[in-house]
Structure 1
């Protein structure tokens, strides 16, 4: 893509991920939000136009229905794609698979989210691990929130020569907060039926060399996910060396129980106090004073904001696919600066 020219980005789907992607794209100096496509006629569509974003119907029929409901509509999804260089599909799970045919027919680069299978694109993306292999591709899949956190943390250990194998237990929130009135679980815990749970194999779709097994259980809360990890190190190490490895990742932030950040709700409150949009926690928030090293064994825990962690990865994937930035570190730094990532630590 021609340097100095803004990347025109279309967002298809304006749910919990789509609205955050749209805001993040609008915050980039090298990107232009071409518009947002959706099917809804309710308050969410009015938020789109209220922010000054162009609204499109996901189909011609939906565009007509939007117009009849009084919404200012710029056209259909096909019209949006005609004015974009790349589309980020943020539609509900499995819907994107059907949209892919349209994207391929239009010859437009596209990104799908972690709810879709690796086979949909043949490439899975986490910026710190697979940016280079995404350069110039037609498409990629930004992996799920939990998988993103797994790849970030294990890659930090791997790059430091510390990782042998990893075993993790995931406490998964039951549903998104805004949909908690529609369903979820209450007064119970629901284990994922198989071991390994899908997140471990999914992490290997990004980095096949990872020796990782995960187990997962749904818990009756909606704030965030929480992970507990037991890692066999490649050699004996001291705690300071482990912390240094985690600090080498630009998207892992250390938090401390001694600072009063004793639960995931406290960390979400910190995000609000920091003025993060939607209280977004883009980083993996890893408790440094809980972390324990016993010889060549490592134990640690962290929090994952499933609505926010994949947003910076999506921005980097846009640059990688379009070839706008060949250097992963440069893209990560640019995205982090625009979203104020890395300002979570309360102490040096």
Structure 2
């Protein structure tokens, strides 16, 4: 298989970003995107991408709205090796039998349960276990960040246990007019919150507990971690472990990156498409180590962080790249990912 033919079902926050990332890969071809909507979201896609209708009702509605669909979801599947389902939570689980019947490998997102595919995916942690599978689940934005950061420390033999507090954004920015949280914070009703157990679907041995709340903002999540180390360690050892891992980038309060909005503005200044940040942004100058304990905080751009994982999952399912590091490197280079946003990258 020289080129992987990929379709995207669901052209929303994640779907549109995955579609563009697929187009940036030299070994992939975007066959098209499918959806049920007929508003500005799919009309903007129709100006530059092949659009398909996810249902027969949607095909009729698109025609009435002046949109010409290239065909149905089944027509899209006939041309695909892999379908990336980025439909709303729980919809993908119902779509899986359709993908299986078409003989197309499928990737679902973190809104689905682990049991939907029986495999959850973060490239740096378990790429090889996805090789050749029929389907996998790319875990949620917060879980992806947990596996990246805590997994890096675990790989270095430094992490014994982790306890984290997550301040989540209230809703996606484009939906903020529909409702949200104003002048308050809403704790999740159970402890631990779901992110810790979800991380163990990728790293089963991880000793992690998370507590979460929704804040009155719409862009990005913020994590605070108290880490019990396996031994006394220096601050440089922790930093070196994080630097050795992919898709973690450093930011600093001393550079004026003092709040979530300042990092978002930096992404725009760097010319990132849609202002996206695919990396976990760790505040380097806030990392504190005291004997065998470490404390850190980082920022998670929920709209984009799972995109590179999805690209790697495509290669893993098809088996076109068997080396995790090779796929990660290829993805990261194509997207222009960084280890430090303000320091020039060395070749």
- Tell me the TM-score normalised to structure 1 length: 0.98
Residue 28 of structure 2 is aligned to residue 28 of structure 1: no
Q: In structure 1, what is the Cα distance between the partners aligned to 2:339 and 2:73?
A: 37
In 1, Cα distance between equivalents of 2:119 and 2:343: 38
2:278 aligned partner: 282
Q: State which of 166, 173, 189 in structure 2 corresponds to 1:170.
A: 166
Matches of 2:53 and 2:276, distance apart in 1 = 27
Task: Tell me if 1:125 matches 2:121.
Answer: yes
Distance (whole Å) between structure 2 residues aligned to residue 343 and residue 202 of structure 1: 26
Alignment map for 1:264-279 (pairs within 5 Å) = 264-279=260-275
State the SS of the aligned residue for 1:75.
coil
Q: How far apart, in 2, do the equivalents of 1:184 and 1:130 lie?
A: 35
Tell me, yes or no, if the aligned pair for 1:38 and 1:45 is still in contact at 8 Å: yes
Give the Cα–Cα distance (whole angstroms) in 2 for the partners of residues 334 and 50 of structure 1.
28
Q: Which residue of 1 aligns with 2:141?
A: 145
1:1-348 → structure 2 map (5 Å cutoff) = 2=1, 5-51=2-48, 53-342=49-338, 344-347=340-343
The unaligned stretches of length 5 or more in structure 2 are none
- CA apart distance, 1:347: 3.1
CA contact (8 A) 1:26 1:33 kept: yes
Counterparts in 2 of 1:290 and 1:256: CA distance versus 1, 3 Å: same
CA distance in 2, matches of 1:297, 1:318: 38
User: What RMSD in Å do the two structures reach over aligned CA positions?
Assistant: 0.9
Shift of 1:48: 1.1
Moved >6 Å (runs of 4+): none
Query: Deviation string for 1:6-27 (max 9, x for gaps)?
Result: 1000100000000000000011
Partner-residue secondary structure (3-state), 2:297: strand
* Contact kept in structure 1, 2:247 and 2:339, CA below 8 Å: no
Deviation at 1:327, TM superposition (A): 0.4
Distance in 2 of aligned mates of 1:57 and 1:246: 43
Q: Is the 8 A contact 2:220 2:301 kept in 1?
A: yes
Displacement of 1:107 after TM fit? Answer: 1.6
The runs of 5 or more residues in structure 1 that have no matched partner are: none
Task: Please give the alpha-carbon distance, in whole angstroms, between the structure 2 residues aligned to 1:84 and 1:108.
Answer: 7
Deviation of 1:343 after TM superposition, in Å, equals 5.7
TM-score by length of 2: 0.98
Tell me how far apart the structure 1 counterparts of residues 139 and 35 of structure 2 sit (CA, whole Å).
22
CA deviation vs aligned residue, 1:182-227 (integer Å, no higher than 9, x gap) = 0111111110111100000000000101000000000000011000
